[in-house]
Amino acid sequence: MRGATLGPIESTQHPGVGYGTAASAAALDELVALGCTWVSFTPFGRQWDLDETDIRMDFEAPFAANREAVRRVVAQAHARGLKVLLIPHLWVDMGGWRGEIAHPDDASWGRWFVAYTRFVTAWARVAEESHAEMLSVGVEMVSSSGTRGEWFDVVAAIRRVYHGMLTYSANWDEEAHVIFWDRLDVVGIQAFYPLAEHPGATLAELRRAAVARADRLEAWSQRVGRPVMFTEFGYTARTDPTLRPWEWPDNMTDVHVDAHAQALGYRALMEAFVPRRWFTGGFVWRYYSDPMDASQEADWGFSPRGREGERVLRELYDPRVPWGSDLAWDAVSNTDPWRF
């Protein structure tokens, strides 16, 4: 899975350049030229704050419009030979991380899970209708993925309407706590791993840290009997991006743009994982559905487009570069389990 995330530009402030437009077609052409074989799309739902139990389906545009846009962009990807991972995300309007969603009692959690099931199954139907090859059942739900049995019901509800492969997008330190991996096909990780322990870490130091991460994850993945993918990976284009790689670029000030540091992070991380037979690939975070729009994030943001990091990806994604999973892959399905 040599992949990239193509982020939406569905705002009414940017008409005609979102998913399923001529702009996204051009962006997908760029990903094919990069060597991608998969692409992920990230439609959003919204909840007001971390205590809210309702989830609204609109995100910068009505759900019906976003649904049709996603269908069109999936068709555009398939027309270019790309396979598709659909990852419904949650946006917290008043700030805060979705992994900190909190409810005081079982009744409140029950209402939230009803709303979440409605949200995610709506997108599961879109994935089914558009023949997307894989769906993520959730993203970074740290506060509930290891404790709430309602997740088993969420997965079952998705299975009733969607018949492709399923994953879950676990935070980089969450995977060992998730209780429902046995209901899914592939372990997904948001791989924003901190590789540096101090400013100015060398490539050799980053490589050692990445290999240590890969070794630990390999031992764990063999215990759970599932292949592993990065539903997201990436680093910002700033000095020392591997120190705290999860920090959102828009919240930073006085930042020094450093595209070389971003590229070193890509290289160290992916070179440690690409040879592993159990590692099926990943999706770099992220490109945008309008490749000509640079307004979606700060100059030091995550996008590698036109930067040194893109050259690293092109090198790694070259089909002549063998990945461990290229040799190990048979199939991942409910009836044909992964064989190490």
Assigned token pair, 247: 């920090």
Average pLDDT (236-247) is 94
Burial of 218 (0-12, 13-18, 19+ CB in 10 A): middle
Beta strand 134-139 pairing with 186-191: unpaired
Amino acid 334: pLDDT: 44
- Whether the per-residue pLDDT at 11 is higher than 80: the answer is no
User: What residue ranges do the domains of the chain occupy?
Assistant: 2-328
- Of the two residues 332 and 302, the one the predictor is more confident about is 302
61-82 pLDDT, tens digit per residue, is 899 999 999 999 999 999 999 9
Fold topology of 2-328: TIM Barrel (3.20.20)
SS (H, E, C) 134-161: EEEEEECCHHHHCCCCHHHHHHHHHHHH
Helix (H) / strand (E) element for 103: namely: none
31-43 pLDDT, tens digit per residue, is 999 999 999 999 9
Helix 259-273 to helix 203-224 angle (10° resolution) is 40
**Which candidate, 181, 334, 210, places its Cα nearest to that of 276?**
210
Amino acid 185: pLDDT: 97
276-302 pLDDT, tens digit per residue, is 999 999 999 999 999 988 788 889 999
pTM for this model (two decimals):
0.94
Q: From CA 315, how far away is CA 274, in angstroms rounded? A: 12
Average pLDDT (123-143) is 98
Amino acid 336: pLDDT: 41
Amino acid 328: pLDDT: 60
